[in-house]
Amino acid sequence: MGCSSSVKSVDGHSRQNRDNNVTTVSLDNANVKVTSAPDPRVDVTSDVTDSVQHSWNYLGKDFQENGLNIFIRIFETKEEIKALFGVENVPINDLKRNAAIRSHGTRFMSAVVGIVESTADDINNKHSEISQLMFALGHQHKEYVGFRPEYFDVFRKAFLWQCEKCMGPYFNDNVLNAWNIVFDIIIQRLQSGYQS
C-alpha cells in the first residue's frame, strides 16, 4: 500500500543561479526567471525539521507508491483535478496503473525529498535553493489551464493523509504541526510564484 519497501534515491533535476533578487531556475529543462518578493518571517525550528525528517523514515520506505497514493487521494478528494492530467474519465482504480500519474507522484515526492533534506535555515531563507525551486514550481503552474492556487492545499491534505496512513500510531500532533508549518511556507512560496 505504499509504506513498506526500501528508500529509493532520486537525483535533483534543477539548478539555481542568483543575480541580486532575480533568480533563474531550471525546472524540467525549462528556465524560469523569477523575482523574489520578501516573505514574512516563518517559524521553522530544528525541532520542526527533525520531526519532518523522522516522519520521512515512514513515507520514504516506498517512495513511488506513496507518491501514487497521494495523487489517488487528491483525485478522490477533488475529482476536478483529474482534468488537469487529462484523466477525468479514467476510474480511480485504473489510475493506479497509469504511468503518467505514477511519474507525477514520483516527481512530487522528489520535491518533498528536497524539503526533508533541508535545514530550518534553508526553509526560512527565501534565497535558498529549495525556496527558489518552490517559487519556480508555483510559477510553472500558471501555465496549467484550469489550475487554481487553492489546489496547493489539496496536495497538503493528501500528503498528510498518506503520512498518517504510513505512520499509524506514530503520527501525532507534533508530526502534524511540523508538516503544517513546513507546508505553510511551501504553499506561500508556490503561491508567490504562481502570482508572479
User: In this structure, is residue 3 part of a structural domain?
Assistant: no
Per-residue pLDDT of the chain (196 residues; tens, 9 = 90+): 566 433 322 333 333 333 444 444 444 444 444 333 444 445 688 888 899 999 999 988 898 999 999 999 999 999 999 999 999 999 999 999 999 999 999 999 998 888 888 887 888 888 888 889 999 999 999 999 999 999 999 999 999 999 999 999 999 999 999 999 999 999 999 999 999 9
Question: What cell was used for 161?
Answer: 493523509
**Alpha helical stretches, state H, the chain:** 46-59, 63-77, 92-95, 99-116, 120-124, 129-140, 151-167, 173-195
DSSP state of 5: S
Question: What cell was used for 97?
Answer: 496503473
Q: Phi first, then psi: what are they for 2, rounded to 5°?
A: 105, 15
Cα 8 vs. chain centroid, distance in angstroms?
17
Residues 131 and 193: beta-carbon distance below 8 Å: no
What is d(CA 79, CA 148) in angstroms, rounded to the nearest whole number?
A: 14
Q: Phi first, then psi: what are they for 16, rounded to 5°?
A: -130, 140
User: In this structure, is residue 185 part of a structural domain?
Assistant: yes
User: In this structure, is residue 27 part of a structural domain?
Assistant: no
Q: b/e map of 151-169 (b: 16 or more CB within 10 Å)?
A: bbebbbebbbbbbbbbbee
The domain that holds 74 is classified in CATH as 1.10.490.10
Question: What cell was used for 52?
Answer: 519532518
pLDDT tens track for 66-120 = 999 999 999 999 999 999 999 999 999 999 999 999 999 999 999 888 888 888 7
User: In this structure, is residue 39 part of a structural domain?
Assistant: no
User: In this structure, is residue 177 part of a structural domain?
Assistant: yes
Q: How many domains does the chain have?
A: 1
User: In this structure, is residue 53 part of a structural domain?
Assistant: yes
Domain that holds residue 184: 48-195
User: In this structure, is residue 137 part of a structural domain?
Assistant: yes
pTM recorded for the entire structure: 0.77
User: In this structure, is residue 158 part of a structural domain?
Assistant: yes
CA distances from 26 to 18, 156, 175 (A): 12, 24, 32
